[in-house]
Chains A and B, each alone.
Chain A
């Protein structure tokens, strides 16, 4: 097991290395060099040279690449063009909000998809199956930002049940509210974005669970369980569903990237102060160091989530020998 995790960690490092390399060369391919983006064109050429030297842009490309790798390894992602703050400080500040939305939505949509998938496979061909499939597929292909706007319009603007956006009510947090009230406040803000992201994602797990469950139901041990006289409920939940879950974990790993993409859009629509909004703002204001930093952290988040899901898979299914 430790060997398996070590190997997967090594793979992750290689992946990150590839991403870093591509990012570096991508941003060097831009018209002009990074300095021309920040420098005032009216600056005298000598002053430009000094600055280029300070940025290390007069060195050979390969030396620059090594310097860049070294800096990233030491957690130095440079400074934001806009706020002049250290990129690392900015993105670490944004991490908790993204982590909260991403993990809750991933887990909730997985659980929901598994549960519904199980039920519709069990009552195959019924109206429940048709309606759930149609509903799930509509959510699966809905244009997420628009769906978010719609949900805000109905539940926050018209009905006024939930806040319009953001993660907390500033007045409450400045005041002397109890920890409970604060937690409830965050949950209140989390409800709508969580609903949107979960609705969009659960259909993936639902469809995989459905077909996996249908395959499992044809197995001999399910017939055997029925022959033993076990109740239908026990056969469904204990015998069939548990084994049908395994392909679902694999598809869950693949869906993590999808859920992070959806997360970026959800965050933007709900002004959720996470990495996604930060990335979008940085890209729009051409704040390249910040954009790279936010992207890297998002990538690391997905890679770590992948690793966790893979390790869970091995724990769940002892038949799998960790290769």
Chain B
């Protein structure tokens, strides 16, 4: 069974393209601290090359050029990969954890619990996410990168909860759950020992799709000026480029961070789609 699943993943070139892109970014994040320091007084991330004032096009000294303060774009880009992956993993894990718990509770208990939770899910799903994040973050004030990650995690669960609930509803009537109940297993035991393992593959698929959204949201917040100013992130790079009016004058500063955000989102989306085809075999036919 495992072998066949693996094979069907190999038949999915787009999924592998996604995995390849992701791997490239992981390598970028790992090797970020190994960047050569040009001189003892020059920190590649914080910038201020003593010999360069303002933006400069790509050169041997700065492979991707420098930003408005003489900071090295390549170094910032590589450190940005760390931030993006961190955001992706933590925010997506938070969303998936909440979504799975809510979905399982909703599907298992049904009735009023289900009604209330799913009503909440409906409301959250009809609301556009970016305005919602904007208004909530304005109430919370200046957030650190951890605050941003948690905020994104706490707002990204409703879609997952809905899918897990549907799965839990169909599980509830299966024989192995019925027999567990007949043996006298309590609600907690049924949910944790019997239902949770069955929905995990699905939760994993959604983790990849949520990661794509989380990276986008963090970058969008940073771009709009609501991110953590002490973090080097791709969204922040873009924001500085936009705000200092260098969008057209220094395209070598504008292009790399945006391309990285897009490519990483693309890769998570492709991986999610690929995994979805493995987990939901119905789709494979088409």
Contact = CB atoms under 8 A, between A and B. Distances in A.
B127 A149 contact: no
A150 interface: yes
A136 B104 CA distance: 34
A15 B212 CA distance: 28
A29 interface: yes
Most chain B beta-carbon neighbours within 10 Å: one of A19, A149, A279: A149
A254 interface: yes
Contacts of A150: 254-255, 258
B225 A303 contact: no
Nearest to B269: A141
B21 to A, nearest CB: 11
Given A211-B286, A302-B126, A279 B141 contact: no
A133 B216 CA distance: 20
B105 interface: no
Interface in B230-282: 238, 242, 247-248, 251, 254-255, 257-259, 261-262, 265-266, 269-270
> Do most interface residues of chain B lie in helix, strand or loop, or is the interface mixed?
helix
Interface residues of A, number: 57
Interface stretch (A42-50, A236-244, A287-295): A287-295
B131 A298 contact: yes
Contact of A15 (B123, B134, B138, B265): B123
Interface in B28-43: none
A143 B261 contact: yes
B265 A258 contact: no
B contact residues, range: 35 or more
A52 B219 CA distance: 38
A268 B239 CA distance: 12
Interface in A128-168: 133-134, 137-138, 140-147, 149-150, 152-153, 157
B223 A258 contact: no
B286 A214 contact: yes
A146 B262 contact: yes
Contact of A264 (B14, B123, B131): B131
B60 to A, nearest CB: 26
B128 A258 contact: yes
Contacts of A31: 141
B135 A291 contact: yes
Contacts of B262: 138, 141-143, 146-147
B258 A143 contact: yes
Interface string A285-320: 010100110110011001100100000000000000
A299 B127 contact: yes
Interface of A: 15, 18-19, 23, 26-27, 29-31, 133-134, 137-138, 140-147, 149-150, 152-153, 157, 211, 214-215, 254, 256-258, 260-262, 264-265, 268-269, 276, 279-280, 282-284, 286, 288, 291-292, 294-295, 298-299, 302-303, 306
Given A142-B262, A286-B138, 9 more contacts: A15-B122, A29-B139, A30-B139, A143-B220, A143-B262, A215-B286, A264-B134, A295-B132, A302-B128
Interface of B: 14, 120, 122-123, 125-132, 134-141, 212, 216, 219-220, 223-226, 238, 242, 247-248, 251, 254-255, 257-259, 261-262, 265-266, 269-270, 283, 286
13 contacts: A15-B122, A27-B139, A30-B141, A137-B266, A143-B258, A146-B257, A150-B254, A215-B286, A257-B127, A261-B130, A280-B225, A295-B131, A299-B126
